[in-house]
Each structure stands twice: as structure tokens, then as C-alpha cells.
Amino acid sequence: MSPLGKLLVIGFGPGDMEHITKRALDALAESEVIIGYNTYMDLIRPLLNGQEIVRTGMTEEVSRAQEAVRQAEMGKKVAVISSGDAGVYGMAGLVYEVLMQKGWRREDGVEVEVVPGISAIQSCASLLGAPVMHDACTISLSDHLTPWETIVKRVEAAASADFVIALYNPRSGRRTRQIVETQSILLRYRDPQTPVGLVKSAYRERQQVIVTTLEDMLNHDIGMLTTVIIGNSSTMVYDGLIVTPRGYQRKYTLDASEQALKPHQRLRTEAEPWSLGAQGDRALNASQAGAAPAAPGPSASGAAAAVATQARPQAVAAVQAAPSAAQAGSAPASLAAEALSRLAAGGRLPGEANARWSGQAPAASADGAAAVAGAGAVAGTATGGFGKPALFEVGVSPGVGNKKFTARQMALLAEITGDEGELEYTPDHQIVLRVPCADPEELVGRLRDERLIVMPIGDVFKVKACDFCNMEKDDAVPVAEHLQVVLGGLQAPKETSIALNGCGMACYGAVLEDIGIVYRKGGYDLFLGGKKFGRNAHAAQPVAEGIPREQITDIVENIIAEYKEKGHPNERFHKFFKRVGVVAGFRHEDAPATVEVNAVCGD
Ligand code: SAH
């Protein structure tokens, strides 16, 4: 028997001579035969010096691996080449699989050396800035060897866990739908403005680098040689570069030479309240203080009933308050019905179909949602993983116009939050309450008993209003309250603000919101399709002036009904208005062209 040869499985990096490792160069030089896909052979041609070459087509990986094993078993030193890293969708695994089939063993079989290379996720990231930087994963969209269902599950898991994602094999001549489907899954979890990098032929002759956004990425060229890098919820763009922060800003002031935390303080748990160590300390404090953790268990059916009876007067009020809504056509009537069921159910909670993309609400809160949605009839209990109470997330405010919390309301919020939960004050004049909770309906009942407005978080309609100059200019308050009862918290294609200003000063900025209403001289002016954030922010389009009180709520309800019915998932109201052209009889007009400015952060 001839002495055994050697298999060198070599990743030669992105494709230029500068980014190939020394070991890869030496391994190529010492091999007698080089086996590889045609394009790769062309890329490494300058490195060849008389080796026997076996070129194959792209789909012939199996015969390439078999041939390599056969020649190595005949005693030759055989190089099998992959671009990037041979262990990342490359030839390394297949070579081992062919060997395993033959009963190969390390101690007496052919020697195998896998030579690592720079993979596309790294080479492409380097051209984009520093988009990877934090927890990331690679997903190949090629379903030639992997069931599409599996790929979908992985995209969903990575999207919901807020990984930076590098998509390999995003698209080919035949596989064109995969990237479209993937984008729509990602949009269910991430902001449409999430930065996305498209790098084609990194470090090769036709290199192309594009910085775009999740919603816009399909408007660019994506092909076989493109890697798509999707940012996470904190990724930003600065001067055309994509950067994902590692988290230094949590502890350091990046533009100061002197840091508030001295080196010896930086690793203490007080300096890292987000750490596992700090969580352990909090749990210990809570149990020492005698605060029993909310125990999962059957919630009293009495509590559920209390919520149902507590909710009913409001629900009835919602329908009564909209007498003309029923006459105005089927859409507002069904909105009122939806409001009725929502209130009877104790309010819908986070995590439904349009789960929020920020990753703040873990899957556990969906349990909370389910439990509360069924509260009218069933006494549900919510449990997260491993028997822990689910994290329950809900928005709380003292009123639509009223901005004043009472001391009792604050005390209740503090009591409910305890050591385990958190309260976050948001720009929407709302406090977001996040607490582990085994009995959401009881909790909602307690909040409402204290006259707090309790609202779901996520892709819902939010009704906001100024404080009506400390309730002195209060003519429009009933309209705001009516809209809150009928529309507040309804599921929306995308989070939508309906904002009301109580006088012509419009100091609350209602005209910048998705739907703005300004009360003036006894009538209501209506503004549609504002975009408050982003480089191309614009005010809403004024569509009507002086609408009488009796008509304004019906008109807004009609607009909402149309948007709910015809809006695409994740389509913001201003985009919807532009796309459909006419909403509830109001015609869209293009805003004047915006001036391009360099964003400091965000998009
Ligand atoms: N082993 C390779 C990956 C092979 S799969 C590696 O580790 O990089 C083929 C996919 O890799 C392509 O569809 C593309 O998504 C990505 N890719 C490989 N080389 C690339 C390059 N030079 N520029 C951009 N993407 C590349």
C-alpha cells in the first residue's frame, strides 16, 4: 500500500492576495494537486507554481471532495480550496463527511489540515465600518440543501434575539424570493430604519459597498456574491459607516478624558446594574425585605370578574359615546365593537402579531397578553420559562390630556414595580411598567381602579393630547377622551399617533404626528401623514379646516378603519397615505423635496 498523502482544506479569504494568510500561502505552495471551483482557481492563479489543477463547476462539491480524498489516499498532498473560511459554508465539512463515510480514523487515515481564512462576515464588515461588533450570527439563505422552514425559524430566532445577522447566499438567478421573505420576517421584529450593509465582491475587482436600511435594502442590487449584514436594535450609521455599539457608553463617557468610574470601580456590581450578578443581588434584597416573589398559580376567578365588571362601564361608554359612529358606516361600528371587546378583555397587551422589534419585550410577555386577552371569561395565569412569572409590559398614564399623577397613583406604581420590575418614562407622556406578573388581569384592574389609563405597547394606535393649558382650554377634551376610548390601544399596521392640540398655538406639535387634530375657533383642523423622526422628517399635510365637533371623531375613525384594513404590516401611516393617494376622501399631496443632510446617528 502506498504511503498516505495529506488533505489541506484551505480558506483563502475574500479573494485578494493581501488578505490570504501565510499558512494558506505555504499550504498551497506545498501541495501537489489543487482542487477547486473554477472561479476560485482564477482568483488564486497568481499563486500557482506547477501544481496539478482539478477544476470543477460550482455544484460539483461532492465529486470535488471525493476526488480529493481519492488522490490523498494515493499518497498525494492535495489542497481543496474555499473562498473565505473553508469551515463556513465551505469544503471542510464535506471533506470530513466523505472521509467518515469511508470509515476514516485520525490515527491511521490520511492527515487532514483545515487552514482558516477570513470569512465574508469579517471581510464585508470591515468595509462597512464595525457592524458586527456584538453578538452576531450567519444564516445562509440557500435552500438547496436546507429546508426553507428551518431557515425561516433561524431568521425568526436571530431577529427576535436581536442578533446582528450576516446573510450568506442571499440571492441567485433562481433563488429570488428568499431574500424578500427574509426581509418581511425581519421587519416584524426590527425597525424599518435598521441599518443594513450590502457588500458585493469584497476585496475583489468589482467590489461594491452599499449602506441602506431594512425597508430599503431590496431596492439595491443583491446577488450571488453579496453578503447582507443586518444591524441590531442599537446599530447606527455615522458618515456612511455602520457601527454597532458594544455597550461602552453604558459605563464610560466617550468624549471625556476623565471617567466618572475609576478603574477599580468599573467591575463592581453597582456599576453594572444590568449584570447577572446585580440581578442576584436584587433578588436577595427582595427576599430579605420579605417581598415574596409573585407566585405563579391559579389567579382568583374573582379578580378576573372584577376586571370584567370594572371594564364594562367603560366599554359601554365607548359604544354610547359613538352614537353617530354606528350610523357612519360599517367601519366605525366595527371599531367600536373592537373597542368593546378590547375593554371587556381588560386591554390587549404586548406581544401579539406585531411583536415589538426593540427586543425589550421577551416572548414571555406574549403569555401575559394571552392571559389578559382571555380575562373576560377565563382566569388565566401567565408564566414565563422555567415556571417564573412572565414579564408583563404595559403603558400607564393619568389621562389623555391630564399629565398629573396623583400621589396614590405613584405609590401604587412603586408598589407594583417593587424590586423586580422597572418603570420607564417615555417621550409619549407615558410610563412603561415592566413587572414579572402571574396575574395580569388583576394588575390591570388595580391600575384602573386608581384611574390610570392602561395601554398595550407596540404596534397600536396611541391617542395623545396636550394638557389643554392645565385643563383651562378644555373644549376639545371630550374629543380626545372619545378617541382614546374608541381607538387607543387598537392594533395598527405600525405604531400610530393620533395627537390633539386644544388651541391654535398647537404647541404640543400635533401637526408633526401621523394624525394631528388642532381645535381652533370652535372647529377642528385635521392634518395627515406627519413624520416626526428621521432625516426626511416632515409635518403632516393639512387636509381640512373647521370640522365641526359632531363630525371630527367619525372622520378620524373612518381614516383609522381604512388604514387598519388596507395598510400593509409595518407600513407607517404617512407611507400608507402616500401609497393609496386618498384616505377617507382626503387626497395626498407630496411634501416639498427634503434637503439631504448628514445624519449624526440613526439613519
Ligand atoms: N466560505 C465562504 C462562504 C461561502 S458561501 C466564506 O467563509 O466567506 C458563498 C457566499 O459567501 C456568497 O453568496 C456571499 O454571501 C458570501 N461571500 C463570499 N465571498 C464574498 C465576497 N468576497 N464578498 C461578499 N460576499 C462574499
Q: Count Cβ atoms below 10 Å from residue 405 Cβ, excluding itself.
A: 18
Could you tell me if 400 and 406 are in contact, meaning their C-beta atoms sit under 8 angstroms apart? no
65 and 178 together in one domain: no
Q: Who's near 298: CB < 8 A, 6+ residues apart?
A: 379, 381
Residue 602 has pLDDT above 80, yes or no: no
* Residue 16: C-alpha distances to residues 52, 88, 136 (Å): 22, 18, 25
**What domain count does the chain have?**
4
CATH number reported for the structural domain that contains residue 425 in this entry:
3.30.70
CA 219 to ligand 1 centroid distance, Å: 21
pLDDT of residue 536: 87
The mean pLDDT value for 543-561 works out to 93
209 and 141 together in one domain: yes
- CB distance 85 to ligand 1 below 6 Å: yes
**What would the pLDDT profile of 428-461 be if each residue is shown by its tens digit?**
788 999 998 888 888 888 998 888 988 888 888 9
Please say which residue of 117, 149, 175 terminates a domain: 117
- CB distance 121 to ligand 1 below 6 Å: no
CA 86 to ligand 1 centroid distance, Å: 11
Which 8-state DSSP code applies to residue 204? S
Which 8-state DSSP code applies to residue 124? H
- CB distance 201 to ligand 1 below 6 Å: yes
Could you tell me if 62 and 95 are in contact, meaning their C-beta atoms sit under 8 angstroms apart? no
103 and 136 together in one domain: no
Among 226, 228, 229, 230, say which to mutate for ligand 1: greatest number of ligand atoms within 8 Å of CB.
226
> For the ranges 76-90, 171-185, 373-387, which has the lowest average pLDDT?
373-387
88 and 165 together in one domain: no
Is 426 among the domain residues? Answer: yes
> For the ranges 18-22, 86-90, 349-353, 582-586, which has the lowest average pLDDT?
349-353
Q: Count Cβ atoms below 10 Å from residue 138 Cβ, excluding itself.
A: 18
Q: Who's near 407: CB < 8 A, 6+ residues apart?
A: none
The mean pLDDT value for 332-345 works out to 47
- CB distance 363 to ligand 1 below 6 Å: no
- CB distance 15 to ligand 1 below 6 Å: yes
Is 524 among the domain residues? Answer: yes
CA 14 to ligand 1 centroid distance, Å: 7
Is 261 among the domain residues? Answer: no
CA-203 nearest atom, ligand 1: 22
Among 88, 114, 226, 227, say which to mutate for ligand 1: greatest number of ligand atoms within 8 Å of CB.
227
129 and 144 together in one domain: yes
For residue 368, report the phi and psi dihedrals to the nearest 5 degrees.
-60, -45
Is 307 among the domain residues? Answer: no
Helix, strand, or coil (residue 157): helix
Please say which residue of 212, 227, 243 terminates a domain: 243
466 and 578 together in one domain: yes
Q: Who's near 160: CB < 8 A, 6+ residues apart?
A: 189, 355, 359, 363
> For the ranges 24-33, 80-89, 497-506, which has the lowest average pLDDT?
497-506
- Three-class DSSP labels, 259-324: CCCCHHHCCCHHHCCCCHHHHHHHHHHHHHCCCCCCCCCCCCHHHHHHHHHHHHHHHHHHHHCCHH
Q: Count Cβ atoms below 10 Å from residue 235 Cβ, excluding itself.
A: 26
The closest of 216, 275, 215, 223 to 250, measured between CA atoms, is 275
Whats the size of the chain, residue-wise?
603
Residue 312 has pLDDT above 80, yes or no: no
**Closest Cα to atom 9 of ligand 1:** 169
> For the ranges 361-365, 464-468, 504-508, 521-525, which has the lowest average pLDDT?
361-365
472 and 450 together in one domain: no
Please say which residue of 86, 117, 148 terminates a domain: 117
CATH number reported for the structural domain that contains residue 27 in this entry:
3.40.1010.10
Could you tell me if 223 and 172 are in contact, meaning their C-beta atoms sit under 8 angstroms apart? yes
The closest of 480, 538, 535 to 511, measured between CA atoms, is 538
By residue range, what is the domain housing residue 566? Answer: 459-590
Could you tell me if 464 and 513 are in contact, meaning their C-beta atoms sit under 8 angstroms apart? yes
93 and 181 together in one domain: no
464 and 584 together in one domain: yes
CATH number reported for the structural domain that contains residue 129 in this entry:
3.30.950.10
467 and 568 together in one domain: yes
Among 21, 89, 121, 137, say which to mutate for ligand 1: greatest number of ligand atoms within 8 Å of CB.
89
Is 262 among the domain residues? Answer: no
- State the chain's maximal CA–CA distance in angstroms: 102
Is 321 among the domain residues? Answer: no
**What would the pLDDT profile of 192-250 be if each residue is shown by its tens digit?**
999 999 999 999 999 999 999 999 999 999 999 999 999 999 999 999 999 999 988 77
Is 271 among the domain residues? Answer: no
- CB distance 179 to ligand 1 below 6 Å: no
519 and 408 together in one domain: no
**Closest Cα to atom 17 of ligand 1:** 120
Could you tell me if 588 and 582 are in contact, meaning their C-beta atoms sit under 8 angstroms apart? yes
Could you tell me if 459 and 495 are in contact, meaning their C-beta atoms sit under 8 angstroms apart? yes
57 and 147 together in one domain: no
**What would the pLDDT profile of 44-56 be if each residue is shown by its tens digit?**
988 988 999 988 7
CATH number reported for the structural domain that contains residue 495 in this entry:
3.30.413.10
Residue 43 has pLDDT above 50, yes or no: yes
pLDDT of residue 481: 87
CA-15 nearest atom, ligand 1: 22
Is 404 among the domain residues? Answer: yes
